[in-house]
Amino acid sequence: GQQLNQSPQSMFIQEGEDVSMNCTSSSIFNTWLWYKQDPGEGPVLLIALYKAGELTSNGRLTAQFGITRKDSFLNISASIPSDVGIYFCAGRNPPFSGTYKYIFGTGTRLKVLA
Amino acid sequence: GAGVSQSPSNKVTEKGKDVELRCDPISGHTALYWYRQRLGQGLEFLIYFQGNSAPDKSGLPSDRFSAERTGESVSTLTIQRTQQEDSAVYLCASSQTGGDQPQHFGDGTRLSIL
pLDDT digits (tens, 9 = 90+) for A43-93: 999 999 999 999 999 999 999 999 999 999 999 999 999 999 999 999 987
- A96-106 burial: b if 16+ Cβ within 10 Å, else e: eeebbbbbbbb
Subunit contact B59:A50, Cβ cutoff 8 A: no
pLDDT at B101: 80
How far is CA B107 from each of CA A20, A38, A87, rounded to the nearest angstrom? 26, 10, 15
Residues of B in contact with A100 (CB under 8 A): 31, 48, 50, 55-56, 98-99
From A62, A89, A95, A35, select the one nearest B104 (Cα to Cα). A35
Amino acid at residue number B76:
T
DSSP string, A56-86: EEETTEEEEE-TTSSEEEEEE-S--GGG-EE
From A13, A49, A53, A50, select the one nearest A34 (Cα to Cα). A49
From A84, A68, A74, A62, select the one nearest A27 (Cα to Cα). A68
A95: cis peptide before it, omega within 30°?
no
Instruction: State yes or no: pLDDT of A37 exceeds 80.
Output: yes
A31 at interface of B, judged by CB pairs closer than 8 A: yes
Integer Cα distance of A73 and A56 in angstroms: 11
Question: Which H or E run contains B54?
Answer: strand B53-56
Integer Cα distance of B50 and B52 in angstroms: 6
Residue B79 has a CB neighbour count (10 Å cut-off) of 24
Tell me which of A2-6, A61-65, B71-75 is least confident.
A2-6
Q: CA of A17 to nearest chain B CA: how many angstroms apart?
A: 25
Determine which of B62, B100, B107 to mutate to test the interface with A (most A C-beta atoms within 10 Å): B100
Q: What is the pLDDT of residues B91-105, one digit of tens each?
A: 999 998 766 788 899
- Contact at 8 Å (CB) between B32 and B73? no
Give me chain A's average pLDDT, please. 90
Integer Cα distance of B45 and B48 in angstroms: 8
pLDDT band at B72 (very low <50, low <70, confident <90, very high): confident
A-to-B residue pairs, Cβ atoms closer than 8 angstroms: 63
Subunit contact A101:B48, Cβ cutoff 8 A: yes
Beta bridge partners of B90: B36, B109
Which residue would you say has higher pLDDT here, B1 or A27? A27
